[in-house]
Amino acid sequence: MPPRGRCYVEDMRTLFHMPLDPASRLVRIMLAEKGLPAQLVEKRPWDDEDGVLAAVNPALTIPVLMDEPPTGGDVAVCPVSAIVEYLEDAYPNEQLLPSTSAARAETRRLTHWFMDKFDAEVSDNTLRERINRRLMRRGQPDYERLKIGADCLVWHLDYAEYLLDQRHWFAGERYTVADIAAAAQLSCLDYIDLVPWEKFPAVKGWYARMKSRPSLRPIMRDRMDGVPPPPHYDNPDF
């Protein structure tokens, strides 16, 4: 007999994800912070011939979280912004949004900043240009786009440095989902060794604190065939 209780706990929650997808990483870290196990199923949105992704998300994006919430029923939650709110709603044990409306607004502004603005300006031009193009076997990356993305990254790191010069965590004095969003993006870019940490000491110090959190350990163990990360990738004292 299989250990039914344990199987049930692990099977009740599934995340469709990709290892080097920032939005998927945000959800994995958030699940870990809340102590919620989940079965990870890798799913490339451009390769859905079996229709598994389309059946749960007509927008054909990842991540999608399939869950049985404590109140019963089944639910498929997407996109990432809705997953963040859902996990806070359904599992309030470890709150990752602050306690006041104003502080929650700032946290959501920055979470959106990293998941949408940073994503479109930096990660689309760099991470996806290098990694997804490789996975799709579409040849060499467009170097013009890589250059634009690297320039945007410096602009974003300047803003991050400005914030972290004034605040211990991104949205204020408390660790929040805004820190998770920033770490989800920067950890993917760091995997392809794109982040000039030395020029941004406040960001580097913050990322060292992030890397030492147990919730980031599974992320640090991700490896992609043929694309090894730099040696400092999983070292908190980098």
- Chain residues that interact with its own copies, rule: CB under 8 A: 58-59, 69, 71, 73, 75, 77-79, 81-82, 85-86, 89-90, 100-102, 104-106, 108-109, 112-113, 116-117, 159
Minimum CB distance to its own copies, residue 229 (Å): 30
Minimum CB distance to its own copies, residue 127 (Å): 20
Nearer to its own copies, 58 or 226 (CB): 58
Minimum CB distance to its own copies, residue 206 (Å): 19
Measured in whole angstroms, the distance separating CA 52 from the mean position of its chain's CA atoms is 22
Helix (H) or strand (E) holding 43: none
Nearer to its own copies, 80 or 131 (CB): 80
Minimum CB distance to its own copies, residue 114 (Å): 11
CA distance 127 to 170: 23
Bridge partners of 75, per DSSP, are: 67
Nearer to its own copies, 94 or 106 (CB): 106
The candidate with the shortest Cα–Cα distance to 203, out of 218, 219, 185, 229, is 185
Nearer to its own copies, 19 or 63 (CB): 63
Q: What single letter denotes the amino acid at residue 147?
A: K
